[in-house]
Amino acid sequence: MLHTVNKSPFEKNSLDTCLRLAKSGSEILLLEDGVYAAVKGTVVEQKMLQALSDYSVYALGPDLKARGIEEDRLIDGIEVVGYDGFVDLAASSDRVQSWL
């Protein structure tokens, strides 16, 4: 199952709720303001490292670029995908949940 999170983890609880309810083995795609959770050295880094042991985590490249986040600042293990990769993730998962 693909979960998408589009909220900054510093402002909203969407990421926390996603991590609470996503089953182990799920895919999580961070997009829009959700991509801020992918950055190293923040207060949510530990949470993301923990998440990486249970889930495959992706961040949407165009949204990282728009926000001036270079890929070398991302937490190791988070994979960057484009919109085509987003489509592939949605198509290959059994179902999709957008944590709006």
Partner 1 sequence: MKFGILVNEGPYQHQASDTAFNFTKAALDKGHEIVRVFFYHDGVNNGTRLTTPPQDDRNIVNRWGELAKEYELDLVVCVAAAQRRGIVDADEAKRHGKDADNIAEGFHISGLGQLIEMGIKADRVMAFGD
Partner 2 sequence: MGNGVKKFMYVNRRAPYGTIYALEGLEVVLIGAAFDQDVCMAFVDDGVFQLQKGQDTAESNMKNFSPTYRALGDYDVNKLYVEKESLEQRGMSEDDLLALTYEDEDDDYKEKPSIRIVNREELADLMEQQDIILNY
DSSP 39: B
79 binds partner 1 (CB under 8 A): no
To partner 1, the closest distance from the beta carbon of 24 in angstroms equals: 22
By CB under 8 A, is residue 11 in contact with partner 1? no
Q: Does 62 bind partner 1 (CB under 8 A)?
A: yes
- 27: Cβ contacts below 8 Å, ≥ 6 apart: 1, 2, 3, 55, 56, 57, 58, 89, 93
Size of the site for partner 1 (CB under 8 A): 19
- Please count the other Cβ atoms lying within 10 Å of the Cβ belonging to residue 9: 23
Rounded Cα gap, residues 22 and 44, in angstroms = 17
Residue 23 binds partner 2 (CB under 8 A): yes
Is residue 52 close enough to count as binding partner 1 by CB under 8 A?
Answer: no
Name the residues that contact partner 2, by CB under 8 A: 1, 13, 17, 20-23, 94-100
